[in-house]
Amino acid sequence: MKINNTLLLVFFFLIQIIFGQNSNEKEILGKITADSVAVEGINILNSTNQRGTVSDRDGFFSLLAKEGDILVFSAVNLTTLYRRINKQDLVFDKIKIQMTPKSIMLEEVIINENSKITAENLGIIPYGQKKYTAAERRLETAGDFKPIMLLSLLGGSMPFDPLINKINGRTKRLKKLVVLEKKEECVKLISELYNQEYLTGKLGIPADYVNGFKYFAVENEKFTIILKSNNKTMTSFLIGELAAKYNEIIASENK
């Protein structure tokens, strides 16, 4: 009975810590424009709390943030913008974000004539092997909280991510995404269309980041639609823009 009471107190203490960290956050409303025109589909990420959203057809978005948070605005055809939230942003009814269009000239487009060659056909992996989607990988990373995990607190080895994700509902959302998302096929298709030399040489992706770039690319809905349409020219153009954006992110992280 004493152990149960102790676990209960620790549990509520953790909840207070988790929600206390977000007590200063406020929902910020903003509008994004490019060349004085509202833009839809801009990805907005709060790099501090890792929450994100997308601008609507009128360029509006709303996102929880607090003073000092860094918001990242990105799109395949616009220059990535970083905005630090200040006190005035929290007071204003709406913040205005002005983004700049960009263009990338491709020196060469390589079309892989052997796109039907797969890892299964080559005998690298067995036929019928289970393919995990991006949602399944995120669910595995998030962890599925079980009440028995609280016993690990006694030994100081309890993983906190499953508990946090259970409280904020993330695990439940990820389980739904497992059924809906099948992005592994898009990653496989990228590997078939573009070899390692093209990704590192033509697109300038560092060799250690190639696999990460593939998963980064398939998170872009517009790109996956073009990728599945078999329009190789447009696919090559878009993957070039995504590569430029990805390299910018790598450069900013290495500063």
Q: Which pairs count as long-range contacts for 244-252, CB under 8 Å and 24+ apart, including other chains?
A: 244/102, 244/104, 245/74, 245/76, 245/80, 246/205, 246/209, 246/213, 246/216, 246/217, 247/204, 247/205, 248/80, 249/80, 250/206, 250/209, 252/82
**In the Cβ-directed half-sphere of 92, how many Cα atoms lie within 13 Å?**
14
- CA 89 centroid distance within chain: 25
Mean pLDDT of the chain: 75
Q: Which residue has the higher pLDDT, 6 or 190?
A: 190
Place of tokens 């946090």: 164
Task: Decide if 155 contacts 110 (C-beta within 8 A).
Answer: no
Query: Within 10 Å of residue 141's Cβ, how many Cβ atoms?
Result: 10
- In CATH terms, 2-99 corresponds, of 2.70.98.90, 3.40.718.10, 3.90.1150.10, 2.60.40.10, to 2.60.40.10
Work out the pLDDT band at 150, boundaries 50, 70, 90: very low
Beta bridge partners of 30: 61, 95
pLDDT of residue 183: 74
In order of 23, 29, 39, 174, 223, the CA distances from 56 in angstroms are 27, 12, 8, 23, 18
Residue 214 has pLDDT above 60, yes or no: yes
Q: Which residue has the higher pLDDT, 1 or 25?
A: 25
Task: Decide if 40 contacts 59 (C-beta within 8 A).
Answer: yes
pLDDT digits (tens, 9 = 90+) for 57-71: 889 999 999 999 999
pLDDT of residue 25: 86
Q: Among 23-27, 36-40, 127-131, 135-139, which range has the highest average pLDDT? A: 36-40
Task: Decide if 58 contacts 125 (C-beta within 8 A).
Answer: no
Tell me the torsion sign for CA atoms 186, 189, 190, 191.
positive
Tell me the torsion sign for CA atoms 119, 120, 125, 130.
positive
In order of 51, 134, 135, 139, 164, the CA distances from 179 in angstroms are 22, 11, 8, 11, 22
pLDDT of residue 224: 86
The residues, ordered by sequence, that sit 6+ positions from 73 with a Cβ below 8 Å of its Cβ are 32, 42, 43, 44, 80, 81, 82, 83, 97, 99
Q: What ranges do the domains of the chain cover?
A: 2-99, 134-253
Query: Within 10 Å of residue 82's Cβ, how many Cβ atoms?
Result: 12
Among 36-50, 114-128, 155-169, 215-229, the range scoring the smallest mean pLDDT is 155-169
Q: Which pairs count as long-range contacts for 168-171, CB under 8 Å and 24+ apart, including other chains?
A: 168/18, 170/142, 171/139, 171/142, 171/143, 171/144, 171/145
Residue 94 has pLDDT above 80, yes or no: yes
